[in-house]
Structure 1
Amino acid sequence: MEAIYTGVATANGRAERAVSADGQLDLKLAFPPALGGDGAGTNPEQLFAAGYAACYSSTLGVVGRERNLDTGEVSVTAEISIGNDDDAAGLAISAVLRIELPEHLQNTEGRRLVKLAHAACPYSKATRGNIPVDLVVVE
């Protein structure tokens, strides 16, 4: 793959800071209360959820335009869960994407776009075969 853009960020653990090389991102990190922390900062699961939701919703628009379909106002909520790995020691993650389509796409064509976007989204490609990802079209 020839890179078009490379985002660079540095973190020193779940309870420190995450800072991008260009300074646009500078966040306090903290363990969420569910993992024994105080929740006084963001966490990797929230950051992954934000990135996945943004990438998937953008890809849905691209896929729609390629098919001359106006996707209108699309909203994607990503839920990234962390829990005990059923197959190995340690922890694992899973994802649920909740996709809200505009009324004119709440049909078979809209559901087809959701699947096509999942096939094309870079985050979906990166997670395919690695973590479970459920697509839920919100009605």
Structure 2
Amino acid sequence: MATVPTLTHLQSDESVIQQLITHPVPADADLFATVDRCAALVSVLLETDDAATRAALCERLLQTLRQLRHLSDADLPPHLIAQLIEGEKLASCVPDCWQETAIQVDYALDLTQAIMCGTLPASVAKGLTGLLHDLVWLLAAFVKEPYITTH
């Protein structure tokens, strides 16, 4: 699971869920921290059956994905550039047609909104939640891929 530095280790799953729901990502969070929070939210969403909790998690995920979308268009801070230079560039974890972060975030936003609508059959909502989970985790891996070469 992703490391989410703004969360503290608490004893119960309910406490973690409440903390995810009630504490938004700080406005000054960077791209990596924001994508990690998205991954944490979608992981908890996948395991949650309570309708009210799912709705609250979806709402927080939407807010966090929107923040991620904004960050994906912004210039990267130097500390993230340094991390993206480190490591060996390997083949990307996503196909060439998905090489823009914004496209993947937009897909995740659309899936989240579809799940939130509450009109889908339970089996479809469960399947789309699984797809959303996998998409967000793939996005998290993609965002952190080393891709910048030194000159």
Instruction: Compare CA radii of gyration and give the structure with the larger one.
Output: 1
Q: Quick check: TM above 0.5?
A: no
Indicate the structure whose relative CO is greater, using CA pairs within 8 Å and at least 6 residues apart: 2
Relative to the length of structure 1, the TM-score reads 0.31
- Normalising by structure 2, we get a TM-score of 0.29
